[in-house]
Amino acid sequence: MASITLDGIGHAYPSRDPGEAKRYALKPVHHVWQHGRAYALLGPSGCGKTTLLNIISGLVIPSDGRLLFDDVDVTRLPTEKRNIAQVFQFPVIYDTMTVRENLLFPLRNRGVDKRIAHDRVVEIAGLLDLVPVLDRRARGLTADAKQKISLGRGLVRSDVSAVLFDEPLTVIDPALKWELRSKLKAVHEALDMLMIYVTHDQVEAMTFADEVVVMNDGRVLQIGTPTELFERPAHAFVGYFIGSPGMNFLPARLEGSAARVADAVFPLDARYGPQAGEVKLGFRPDYATVTPDGEGIPVQVLRIEDLGRRRLVRVALGPHELVATLPPGMELNEPTARLQVGSQHLHIYVDDERITGEQIGGELA
Ligand SMILES: Nc1ncnc2c1ncn2[C@@H]1O[C@H](COP(=O)(O)OP(=O)(O)OP(=O)(O)O)[C@@H](O)[C@H]1O
């Protein structure tokens, strides 16, 4: 068991064209992943998640930086010497063996005492609801059950430095995904292990992880708890990618402790220096409400989307479109309405990075 340090880890795959400038699939990143915690690597296709996972597993030797398991440099160690377990998108199991034999296999391979191995298999099977099928052959089981065996094989060794999951719920029936997602969370809570989970699905990442690593275009943009990513996205991409729908962004001008968008003025809870100038104002649809009249910024109502549990309203502020929430029971019968956003939910971005001002009252916003 270990913590994992990414010490300036980055990677550029070798190019066929020797004249081409170095192109990073993963831009250098520095971070320490703590023993016992669950991390998710989240981002769109091609953002570098698999590259980072493969660097940790040893399938890719990074072009930059060092990888440490505790204080041991493993950057160039082959996979089999790294003491990690991996779970892939598709089940990796022995069809002709029983579920019990499949789960015992990684332990037998390491010469674990028979009694200890047996108890551990029963513990893991219990966590994954595999006890009733322990003595069935894997061959006859459903795809979901087979992937659970694969998960079990990844989790069964208690001496690994980390368990790596590469989109492990891909083959799971959508109706069962929810169940398995929360089961994996419970498994992590029951076992004191460092787990790293690659996904492009924000719900999977947010359910599973203590901390989510949001990546885009080879860059780690923010590492934070689900709440931090939702409440204070450090980068505009994080605001847009996390949440459904994502954050609204409007081009704005800062004027002390207010942001001006066209003729509308949004009071902020912080004061910004004059250097900020042209910025992006970001706020979540969840924290913006539209009402027919009263206080707030005048907007044009474009359309209402009834999602059953909540209603969203798409409005225009000058030439800009944005999404807000329509409070329960509220009707909009006129083409114009009022938009309200609490100043604590307004964020300022310069070159897509969130900046903080001097909070009115003292601290940083
Ligand atoms: N073996 C390789 N040789 C050259 N380029 C590669 C190689 N593997 C990946 N890349 C490139 O590196 C970048 C990051 O790819 P990576 O597979 O790490 O992303 P990802 O986020 O895991 O995507 P996906 O979710 O589609 O698997 C992409 O531009 C990809 O084309």
pLDDT at 28: 97
Q: In the Cβ-directed half-sphere of 165, how many Cα atoms lie within 13 Å?
A: 33
- State in Å: Cα 51 to ligand 1 middle: 6
The whole-chain average pLDDT of the chain stands at 93
Mean of pLDDT values over 63-88: 95
Q: 249-359 has which CATH code?
A: 2.40.50.140
- State in Å: Cα 78 to ligand 1 middle: 20
**Where do the structural domains in the chain lie, given as residue ranges?**
4-238, 249-359
Candidates 3.40.47.10, 3.40.50.300, 3.30.110.30, 3.10.105.10; CATH matching 4-238: 3.40.50.300
For residue 365, pLDDT over 50 is answered with no
For the CA of 60, the closest atom of ligand 1 is: 1
Question: Do the domains 4-238 and 249-359 sit in the same CATH topology, yes or no?
Answer: no
For residue 183, pLDDT over 90 is answered with no
Q: Give the pLDDT band (50/70/90) at residue 135.
A: very high
The ipTM estimated for the assembled molecules is 0.97
Residue 169 has which token pair?
């719920």
Encode pLDDT of 243-277 as tens digits.
999 999 999 999 889 999 989 999 999 998 776 66
- State in Å: Cα 48 to ligand 1 middle: 6
Nearest C-alpha to atom 12 of ligand 1 is from which residue?
Answer: 25
pLDDT at 361: 67
pTM: 0.92
Q: What is the 3-state secondary structure (H, E, C) of the chain?
A: CCCEEEEEEEECCCCCCCCCCCCCCEEEEEEEECCCCEEEEECCCCCCHHHHHHHHHCCCCCCEEEEEECCEECCCCCHHHCCEEEECCCCCCCCCCEHHHHHHHHHHHCCCCHHHHHHHHHHHHHHCCCHHHCCCEHHHCCHHHHHHHHHHHHHCCCCCCEEEEECCCCCCCHHHHHHHHHHHHHHHHHCCCCEEEEECCHHHHHHHCCEEEEEECCEEEEEECHHHHHHCCCEHHHHHHCCCCCCEEEEEEEECCEEEECCEEEECCEECCCCCCEEEEEECHHHEEEECCCCCEEEEEEEEEECCCCEEEEEEECCEEEEEEECCCCCCCCCEEEEEECHHHCEEEECCEEECCEECCCCEC
Encode pLDDT of 309-339 as tens digits.
899 999 999 999 999 999 999 999 999 999 9
Nearest C-alpha to atom 7 of ligand 1 is from which residue?
Answer: 13
For residue 10, pLDDT over 80 is answered with yes
